[in-house]
Amino acid sequence: MSLVRHLPPFSLALSALALSSWASVAQADIYKFVDKDGTVHFSNQPGAKQQGGQVYLKTREKKHRGDFTPFAPSDVSPERFSRHDDTIRQAATLYQIPEALVRAVIMVESNFDPRAVSHAGAQGLMQLMPATASRMEVRDSFDPRENIFGGVRYLRILANLFNGDLELTIAGYNAGEGAVMRHGGIPPYEETQDYVVKVLTYYRRFAAAQPQPPPER
């Protein structure tokens, strides 16, 4: 399924060499470079760090030390669904991701409760893991605006990486881009497969509920 093929490219460039190397050596650290034109490049070459690259993705994320308390979503107020409309709209516009997809991810991840914390340590509306939040330059995952912008930025990166494939983008958000690359598609994890179905269901529902522009005359 490729429901987001229409998404325009974002201003992140992945060279064919870097992308192929990343896919074939999925266990290597990934480094990020910004050239003089402001274009972002990624590399997993051994000398990347010495050449000034900043770590973008570690081979293995450090295990969480358990210094968090799981908090299940508990906000049942109807207002929660519209409380962050402006931020969702702004982030979706900035990163060119459908608002309906952002809402679907938030719905499945936290049920629109910014206080939510998973047993794995994912936090906030879009349930950012600490390492992912750091990569997306989110300082406070419990700040709704920071969390939404960080989560949508990650969706944009995933959409670029998987050529706009909606299912792979959603799977990558749940399992990580490395897992999708290693398995050459949606990973064979029951959690991830269920997650993709749930997000797609809400995505269609939210998309259908959005006001449609008037037909052109």
Confidence of residue 159 (pLDDT cuts 50, 70, 90): very high
The partner residues of 55 in beta bridges, in order of sequence, read: 31
Strands 40-43 and 30-34: antiparallel
pLDDT at 156: 97
Confidence of residue 73 (pLDDT cuts 50, 70, 90): confident
- Structural domain total, the chain: 1
Q: Which 3 state secondary structure label does DSSP give 151?
A: helix
Domain membership flag for residue 116: yes
Range of the domain at 95: 71-209
Which residue in this structure is represented by tokens 């990343």?
A: 22
Rounded Cα–Cα distance for residues 5 and 164 (Å): 5
pLDDT at 71: 85
Higher pLDDT, 217 or 70: 70
Domain membership flag for residue 130: yes
At 87-116, the pLDDT tens digits run 999 999 999 999 999 999 999 999 999 999
Domain membership flag for residue 136: yes
Q: Which 3 state secondary structure label does DSSP give 123?
A: strand
Q: Which 3 state secondary structure label does DSSP give 54?
A: strand
Domain membership flag for residue 126: yes
Domain membership flag for residue 64: no
Contact call for residues 53 and 25 (beta carbons, < 8 A):
no
Catalytic machinery residues: 109
CATH number at residue 163: 1.10.530.10
Domain membership flag for residue 65: no
Q: Which residues contact 81 (CB under 8 A, 6 or more apart)?
A: 112
pLDDT at 40: 56
Domain membership flag for residue 31: no
pLDDT at 69: 78
Domain membership flag for residue 141: yes
Rounded Cα–Cα distance for residues 44 and 57 (Å): 9
Rounded Cα–Cα distance for residues 64 and 78 (Å): 33
Contact call for residues 18 and 26 (beta carbons, < 8 A):
no
Q: What is the pTM of this model?
A: 0.70
**pLDDT reading at 39 higher than 80:** no
